[in-house]
């Protein structure tokens, strides 16, 4: 479980970093679609956080 949890945590941290960079670039360029990108990023991160919490509470197994 611990090795799997570290993998999931690494995935979540990587996604946060990537979305932060993408949003920063969109904000710096002044893209008209930056609000849509921010909403998508927030929704994806909330979903990933929910997955992370569910995995911590209920446990999970990798497919063989």
Domain span holding position 29: 2-58
The model's confidence at residue 62, banded by pLDDT at 50, 70 and 90, is low
- Provide the pLDDT for residue 4: 52
- Provide the pLDDT for residue 41: 84
The model's confidence at residue 2, banded by pLDDT at 50, 70 and 90, is low
In a domain, 63, yes or no: no
Kindly report, residue by residue over 6-61, the tens digit of the pLDDT: 677 787 788 888 888 888 888 888 877 778 888 888 888 888 888 888 888 887 76
In a domain, 32, yes or no: yes
Q: How many independent structural domains does the chain possess? A: 1
In a domain, 42, yes or no: yes
- Token look-up 């611990």 returns 2
pTM of the model: 0.63
């Amino acid at each position: 479980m611990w090795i799997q949890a570290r993998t999931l945590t690494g995935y979540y941290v990587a996604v946060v970093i990537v979305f932060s960079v993408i949003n920063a670039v969109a904000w710096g360029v002044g893209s008209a679609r930056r609000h849509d990108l921010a909403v998508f990023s927030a929704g994806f991160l909330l979903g990933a956080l929910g997955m992370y919490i569910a995995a911590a509470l209920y446990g999970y197994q990798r497919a063989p």
